[in-house]
Structure 1
């Protein structure tokens, strides 16, 4: 067999991908716009991330359901939407989302929705499963008009680019060649370029010896540090972070021992790193260091800390839009695992978040980035009398949809209104502000065995479902996770932050009571 090693096909593919993406400027319209033009949208909610890391998330194969809020596009009467999953979605889950659509009969929307499945539960990204099934690809291609359609995804890799090329439709997502700017090291470069405050840290390294060297250098620059975070260059939800406690290494601290002794001690100390996942080990983590690279970064201390974030979008016209701000709810051993969020972020730093997010978005747009991005921060409360009540430091950029994407999409689906950049609030058409509390991790063993229909029975009987008349209540996602894992996603919308929190608490209390009744 003769293998063609000429670089010409690769160059042709890259130019074709760029040609397809150039078509987005005439096909994509903002979600707020009532669009009467014919549109076709293919949703491929593949988590094209490190599959070993994904295994740490309970029920992760159901996370393909999180983009079901994209059905909001069916509010436009000439829009057709195709949704692909690894395993078929339960009909009651689809019915639930279609019933939430305001202003459109659910039957009308259902006629414009196509569902495809690979019937493959293996631990591969959904996009890879599609590429391995040429007959299924042919069916999907036949269902799409290449002059109207475009594709959206959770995150963009070479797999999504290959799928875009195979189908001959543009991908509304980042060119995978630009993924570096969403890594830990790439984020730090962007922060430095934009003048955004961020923790002191190291260059990117790939060996244990080099990691010890750069960690020693960081400690030398910051001898007051109590902890240092070792971060895989590519990670998500805090799972790629490990914490190094410096107190046990006091004997080799700067000023107490030579640099050589400090580096040697650090190499040995890596085996005692604290991981967010209880089953993680240094041996396994180090395989990821050699594969992905890692950095050492100063751990931000503080008696009162928060984890706000800002979300933006770079449109096909290269315009930067701020979409939302959130205060993230974090958990895990060291409070670095994303559990949920509240909208909007605190008024003390909300506008500052927006401004920093805009500058970062403009830098990304100048490099050719496209679609959604998010920036995570740490906020530390300052002493009374300080010029600012909170100090913000940027932590990382996410060039993909994230844990704050689908709650805000839920708000947009359920409540017709607008996000107002002047104050960072969301208002209904009549000027009522809206707030929410959301989580991907409402999980308890007692919830196992609940079907989506059981969930609806419980919520409706307790009058906690979303009420379109009042614009308040609870909306759910990850319902496919419920029976097997006792895990559920939820977005609780209220007219005040306290009201949104109260709805969340009432949902939990109702589920607890109902499941306890069956255990008696």
Structure 2
């Protein structure tokens, strides 16, 4: 009789979740990097199905000679894209790692989740199942939904990830409940509303309890990367002189014109719910740090990293990139809060990746940290840190939150998924490799600096690229980032000129 999802997860071994250190096991890893999310929000991501490439840095598990990896994508990955990752791997011949890597694809580039495509292809699933050794295999995903749960049960392979039945703890409402339970500071806010009228009532309650607030941020309960957030300013509404009913009415009108990135977001309120939190202002400086961790089978919580998030977009709420690590004045506090949240999640039965986003405000010499949301999935900071750890063979120092190379040198980086420029359109991955080689942009382990790249599939069609730029201090990492952008655009321009018959000047 087939095992249930829970019974399958009981087969997971504690060592399988550890991505660092040699000799972590003899197993088969099935990677299903499906962006299984709300279609309206996924439509906001340019070249969404190419984001399946971001987890290619998981191939670094092949450093262990006992590990085999099965990597599945919507469309076949070019060999050059795969080799570009494998060649970064220290300590093992690329040819040896390549023999233990098996690539599959659905030959379907439609804008649907990869997992959904897999479930429609029983013959393909049969070929994948034949490769996986019973009792020594597990799968990981970008996010775990009912689709990934169904895939685990169909393949009879345990999934290292949080049961979607626990998904509430990764929502905006669940996050606030966790913060209150763990004693992690967080902004004043509302409960969950499932209609625009109830949302207006809840925001009125928030303003009446905190009439000095300059505004709030309205959040879809299941939004991601800031795409489900929009700011609502209070001063233009002149709420102070109104009756309760008038305030509710004026806020209800204001909600209709919110600059929410997600299209049709009003309908999403009834499906997901929405809430509001105080918009944090004041202070001499404001930053958006985060902490990431993982929960191993058995419940052990490991804090992995801290980051400074780079936000942008129309409302300043969209994730664009990050810098590692977070600033020294509050880095250890971030890690302590992350550990507390991770332990609470582990007590609920959560597994694998989680992250906590914060707002940090400086008042003189003091930094005030306020937690704003939990992510129960991999995110934009996952693959850059995975790349750093893989290509350097270094490790995080728990006492300081610094990442040290094997020689003890602290390493830093700036990373992005969103280097976009029209001049990059039309470049093939092989052109990128040529530009990188000619300009000496690649990561150099002797100098402990340089860049590694991802999202190569987005390059030609969308003029978009991801990269992680590494240096020995924050200033050097920023300089590597700037020089990499400049050299890439110059190289792209030169090739465009050559193609048009113009001399290279």
**Do residues 391 (structure 1) and 379 (structure 2) align?**
no
- Match in the other structure for 1:372: 353
Give the Cα–Cα distance (whole angstroms) in 2 for the partners of residues 503 and 209 of structure 1: 50
Distance apart, 1:439 and its partner CA:
0.6
- Match in the other structure for 2:279: 299
- Match in the other structure for 1:471: 448
Q: Deviations over 1:438-466 (max 9, x none)?
A: 11111111110111111111111111111
Give the Cα–Cα distance (whole angstroms) in 2 for the partners of residues 423 and 453 of structure 1: 40
Q: Deviations over 1:193-216 (max 9, x none)?
A: 011111111110111111110010
Give the Cα–Cα distance (whole angstroms) in 1 for the partners of residues 253 and 401 of structure 2: 47
Give the structure-2-normalised TM-score. 0.96
Q: Is the 8 A contact 1:27 1:148 kept in 2?
A: no
Tell me the secondary structure at the aligned position of residue 274 of structure 1.
coil
Q: Deviations over 1:137-178 (max 9, x none)?
A: 111111111221100110111111111111111100001110
Q: Is the 8 A contact 2:16 2:24 kept in 1?
A: no
Moved more, 19-28 or 125-134: 19-28
Tell me the secondary structure at the aligned position of residue 353 of structure 1.
helix
- Match in the other structure for 2:71: 83
- Match in the other structure for 2:378: 401
Give the Cα–Cα distance (whole angstroms) in 1 for the partners of residues 429 and 292 of structure 2: 30
- Match in the other structure for 1:7: none
Give the Cα–Cα distance (whole angstroms) in 2 for the partners of residues 324 and 38 of structure 1: 26
Distance apart, 1:96 and its partner CA:
0.7
Aligned match of 2:233 in 232, 242, 245? 245
Q: How does 1:325-404 map to 2 (within 5 A)?
A: 325-384=306-365, 389-404=366-381
**Do residues 262 (structure 1) and 247 (structure 2) align?**
yes
Q: Is the 8 A contact 2:74 2:105 kept in 1?
A: yes
Note the residue ranges of structure 2 that are not aligned, 5 or more in a row. none
Q: How does 1:73-222 map to 2 (within 5 A)?
A: 73-222=61-210
Q: Is the 8 A contact 1:46 1:153 kept in 2?
A: yes
Aligned match of 1:509 in 486, 502, 505? 486
- Match in the other structure for 1:447: 424
Give the Cα–Cα distance (whole angstroms) in 1 for the partners of residues 177 and 358 of structure 2: 15
Q: Is the 8 A contact 1:344 1:425 kept in 2?
A: yes
Residues 351, 26 of structure 1: alpha-carbon distance in 2 compared, 3 angstrom cutoff:
closer
Q: Is the 8 A contact 1:41 1:152 kept in 2?
A: yes
Q: How does 1:414-425 map to 2 (within 5 A)?
A: 414-425=391-402
How many residues were matched structurally? 496
Give the Cα–Cα distance (whole angstroms) in 1 for the partners of residues 210 and 22 of structure 2: 54
Q: Deviations over 1:364-410 (max 9, x none)?
A: 111111111000000011135xxxx2100000000000000000000
Residues 294, 29 of structure 1: alpha-carbon distance in 2 compared, 3 angstrom cutoff:
closer
Aligned match of 1:321 in 302, 313, 316? 302
Tell me the secondary structure at the aligned position of residue 311 of structure 2.
strand
Q: Is the 8 A contact 1:27 1:149 kept in 2?
A: no
Distance apart, 1:274 and its partner CA:
2.2
Q: Deviations over 1:329-383 (max 9, x none)?
A: 1111232111111111000100000011111111111111111100000001113
Q: Is the 8 A contact 1:316 1:370 kept in 2?
A: yes
Give the Cα–Cα distance (whole angstroms) in 1 for the partners of residues 150 and 23 of structure 2: 29
Note the residue ranges of structure 1 that are not aligned, 5 or more in a row. 1-11
Aligned CA-pair RMSD = 1.4
Q: Is the 8 A contact 2:17 2:297 kept in 1?
A: no
Q: Is the 8 A contact 1:377 1:394 kept in 2?
A: yes
Give the Cα–Cα distance (whole angstroms) in 1 for the partners of residues 409 and 286 of structure 2: 30
Give the Cα–Cα distance (whole angstroms) in 2 for the partners of residues 333 and 226 of structure 1: 19
Give the Cα–Cα distance (whole angstroms) in 2 for the partners of residues 27 and 358 of structure 1: 19
Give the Cα–Cα distance (whole angstroms) in 2 for the partners of residues 29 and 199 of structure 1: 33
Q: Is the 8 A contact 1:42 1:152 kept in 2?
A: yes
Aligned match of 1:493 in 461, 470, 488? 470
Distance apart, 1:20 and its partner CA:
1.1
- Match in the other structure for 2:289: 308
